[in-house]
Amino acid sequence: MQENHKYNICMFIATIFFGMTYVLTKICLNYSTELHIISFRFLIAFVISLIFLQRKIFPIKIKDFLYFKI
């Protein structure tokens, strides 16, 4: 039951975050241009992805590559 509770909290936080982006973007448009806002959002996403992707990436085996080759 505690795992389910943890997922519910994460979904609630994600919903609040996604809902607030529309309001915050509207406020930011009063003070900045669209290009600056988009650039800043991509910069934030890049920095966050660098933080989470610091773990070692395992090499792809040829056998796995052949399964996914289309």
| Residue 31 pLDDT | 92
pLDDT digits (tens, 9 = 90+) for 3-21: 778 888 989 999 998 899 8
CA distances from 70 to 25, 48, 64 (A): 40, 32, 12
| Residue 61 pLDDT | 77
- The domain containing residue 6 runs over which residues? 2-68
Overall domain count for the chain: 1
pLDDT digits (tens, 9 = 90+) for 21-44: 889 889 988 999 999 999 998 999
| Residue 50 pLDDT | 84
DSSP run (H or E) holding 49: helix 34-52
| Residue 16 pLDDT | 93
Q: Are 29 and 37 in contact (CB under 8 A)?
A: yes
| Residue 56 pLDDT | 67
